[in-house]
Amino acid sequence: MPFPAQPLPLPLTSFLCLALSALPLSADPLTKSTEVDFGHEVASRNLKGLATRSDGRILPGPVFTDLPGPKIGDILWTLRRTGTDQGAPACFLVGTGPDGRVQEITFHEQDASYTVREIAKVAEAQVTALLPLANGDLLLGTSPTAVLYLLHDGKPLARLPLAADSVFDFLPQPDGSILAATGNPGKVYRLDPVALAKAGVTEGKAAGDKAAAGKGVTLFGEIRDRNVRRLLRLPDGRIVAGSAPKGNVYAFPAPGGAPVLLQENRDAEVVDLLAAEDGGFYAGLVFAPGENSRLGKIKSPLEDREENRPAVFGGRSTVVHFPAAGYPETVVSKTGTALYRLAYHRHWLLLAAGEGGDALGYDPVTRRSLVYAGSASAQLNDLAPLGPDRYLLLRNNASGLALLDFSTASARELETKRIDLGSPGELGLIRLPRVHGVDPATLRLEARTNFGSDDLEGWTPWTELPRSDESFSAAGLHGRYLKLRLTLPAASTGFLIDKAVVYHLPQNHRPVLNDFRVFPPNLALIPNPERPATGLSTLSQLLFPAAEVHKEEPGAEKRKNVFLSSQIVPQPGNQLVYWSVSDQDGDTLAYTFSIRPENSDTWTDLAVETRDTFVQFDTGALPEGLYFSRLTAREQSPRPEKQRLSVSFETDSLTIDRTPPVITLATAERREGKLILTVEGHDALSLLGGAVFNLNNGVQEETEHPADGVLDSRTERFVVEIPAARAAGATAVEILLYDQPGNSSSRRLPLE
């Protein structure tokens, strides 16, 4: 430290705290609100008779029913309706695996039951493509060996192995031919059913495309990507093909040949193609890069389903609209969801998906996506209409059939996912600000809470919430996580319910001491004046108030920066103490700072309920000695009195020391061309700080480094060596020994 120092002519303060400056602190509102976006917070399988929209609102939806019935197969691949005779039961064909069977499903409308009859079995493991023909015959394709079968009454009229791994899709043509899409390699073949039937059964392995051409199967076109997954015919005759694993979309000329690329993708699979009313089409794509691939570890895209187990899907899915004239546009995007099929429900799109058994929708008019009631199974692989408002669906993991019914609703109910409120706390009202088309008094809302994040364990029982102030009261419920269950009358139609708002009071946390400093004595603080507040908020604060909960507001940050740039000046007899306390909840705090002598139990308050984060006081009236200190932080308004927390911190001790050290030895000698000066001393209360040597020829030397190398004791020895040239003409030296509080003693020595 510089010594000696000339103090500025500032008036001394009294013994008690100097209230030089108050830093007004503003706290965040104690009550927090969490908006519940039903479009995001409700899983498909937790909807009954309701739908949620991408803007977070609730509207009428279908009822999803997993149908009990006989086993169809371990893996269900494709669902095709066979007859449409009025009055006759609806019949469907299902291709299954891993034992290569084709099952006929008869669905009985009166009791929503079904019966199963096996109509064919082939040697290959998976029946992945089916096409019932007008004459009653059945065309099917297999995997992991690509074989074409033409069956009549379940018996093979023809069998033709292809030079590929899989047959993925069939597309009838107006001239009676059929296009077949294959994988590994990605090719499209044109089949002549008549010629294929005449060729009969070909045993063994594929002989190549030339041999197949002689049996009614010719090459229509091919792509460089590994698999042609889906085919679609446009009104102008062009054939659209979707690929995997790149996920490209191609258009072949009507006669076949080289395709034109309509859209290039990476790490994707075109899972379905659907004609649009404008002459264009929709393409469903699944993006699954790296280890998230929906296609599994084996090359064949069938293997993921063959494992027959639920999976956490880490990719995303999109629906892209390709207009008849114009550029492709993504209209639906879902993260963590894998699409399987596209269909129409009236003028809306209906999407069957996984890996959470999701049934989704898209409204082209409002350009919003929807979530419908879904399955408890992991995947919805295929669907077929039973009428204008009913659909039969294939489900896997576990395999079976399901019914999606838009016509009636026996119950309308939803349950949200786990909602994170940010911190444990007490719930207040849950509001549904805008309810249209249904009497709010008929709504029933239930809630359950949890202090843990496990979806299954630790939840309170469902509690029905009473209505209060046109809202629902959750008073008495505590926790960090919340689930809601909303029930509407089954007869409700044409309604729209907006997002919910949950009001809650977070747990009140005690203040935390971040920093505490007892500054060296004889220093004073001159606080900078606070800059006037602008009164402005940022757009981010208005849009995302929840994100600002744990952030210091800009005004407080400015005040803090202004305070930390305050001046520190010398002032004899003054003691400055500074602290920093944080409160997780943003409460306004007041501080009481107290001290007591080491040999006394009586505390003396030097600052009481101050908003300042420092105190400075004159030590002149305090007896010398060691003092213990204590800082108490107490929450203030707007926190209600009964809720205010207070915490006392045992802070650093301080020493009041006005007694200078005693010089026990002081010497000066000339040796080997140097003037060697030594001082040794002892202090009763404080550590020694250093020594200053002033020669009467104007030379001054100061040292804070003791002879033993460590400045750590109340007894120290200091030595300096001054070259003879610098000491020339000096006849005396003034030696000052000072302690760390700044008290000093001096001794004058003559120089020989």
Domains of the chain: 38-55+414-498 (no CATH), 62-408 (2.130.10.10), 512-656 (2.60.40.10), 662-750 (2.60.40.10)
Can you give the pLDDT at residue 11? 35
On the question of pLDDT at 406 being above 50, the answer is: yes
On the question of pLDDT at 10 being above 90, the answer is: no
Mean pLDDT of the region 298-306: 38
On the CB side of 482, CA atoms within 13 Å amount to 32
pTM of the shown model: 0.75
pLDDT per residue as tens digits for the range 218-266: 999 999 999 999 999 999 999 999 999 999 999 999 999 999 999 999 9
Q: What residues have CB less than 8 Å from 420, skipping those under 6 apart?
A: 453, 480, 481
Can you give the pLDDT at residue 532? 63
Q: How many CB atoms are located within 10 Å of the residue 554 CB?
A: 14
Residue of 43, 28, 36, 27 whose CA lies nearest to 474? 36
Which pair of structure tokens corresponds to residue 629?
A: 């200190």
Please give the share of the chain, as a percent, with pLDDT higher than 90. Answer: 76
Comparing 27-31, 323-327, 454-458, the range with the smallest average pLDDT is 27-31
Can you give the pLDDT at residue 541? 65
pLDDT per residue as tens digits for the range 205-214: 888 899 999 9
Q: What residues have CB less than 8 Å from 307, skipping those under 6 apart?
A: 296
- Give 529's pLDDT tier (boundaries 50, 70, 90): confident
On the question of pLDDT at 158 being above 80, the answer is: yes
**Whole-number Å distance between alpha carbons of 261 and 108:** 45
Can you give the pLDDT at residue 373? 94
Can you give the pLDDT at residue 577? 95
Of the ranges 170-174, 569-573, 656-660, the best mean pLDDT one = 170-174
**Whole-number Å distance between alpha carbons of 499 and 48:** 18
- Give 34's pLDDT tier (boundaries 50, 70, 90): very high
Can you give the pLDDT at residue 2? 37
Please give the share of the chain, as a percent, with pLDDT higher than 70. Answer: 89
pLDDT per residue as tens digits for the range 690-744: 999 999 999 999 999 999 999 999 999 999 999 999 999 999 999 999 999 889 9
Quickly count helices (H) and strands (E) in the chain. 7, 58
On the question of pLDDT at 85 being above 70, the answer is: no
Can you give the pLDDT at residue 9? 35
DSSP 394-456: EEETTTEEEEEESS--S-EEEE--PEEEEEEEEEEEEE---EESS-GGG-EEEEEEESS--SS
On the question of pLDDT at 298 being above 50, the answer is: no
Can you give the pLDDT at residue 542? 64
Q: Is 423 exposed, middle or buried (0-12, 13-18, 19+ CB in 10 A)?
A: middle
On the question of pLDDT at 290 being above 90, the answer is: no
Q: Is 541 exposed, middle or buried (0-12, 13-18, 19+ CB in 10 A)?
A: middle
Mean pLDDT of the region 296-319: 56
On the question of pLDDT at 623 being above 80, the answer is: yes
On the question of pLDDT at 484 being above 80, the answer is: yes
Q: What residues have CB less than 8 Å from 621, skipping those under 6 apart?
A: 15
pLDDT per residue as tens digits for the range 574-584: 999 999 999 98
CB-CB contact of 695 with 730 (8 Å)? yes
- Listed in sequence order, the DSSP H helices in 205-302 are 209-213
The secondary element (H helix, E strand) that includes residue 221 is strand 217-222
For residue 547, give the DSSP letter: G
- Give 309's pLDDT tier (boundaries 50, 70, 90): very low
- Give 614's pLDDT tier (boundaries 50, 70, 90): very high
**Whole-number Å distance between alpha carbons of 66 and 216:** 42
On the question of pLDDT at 418 being above 80, the answer is: yes
- As a whole number, the mean pLDDT across the chain is 88
Which pair of structure tokens corresponds to residue 545?
A: 């108030």
Comparing 96-110, 416-430, 516-530, the range with the smallest average pLDDT is 516-530
Higher pLDDT, 306 or 150: 150
Can you give the pLDDT at residue 101? 96
pLDDT per residue as tens digits for the range 93-140: 999 999 999 999 999 988 889 999 999 999 999 999 999 999 999 999
On the question of pLDDT at 84 being above 90, the answer is: no
Peptide bond into 98 cis (omega under 30): yes
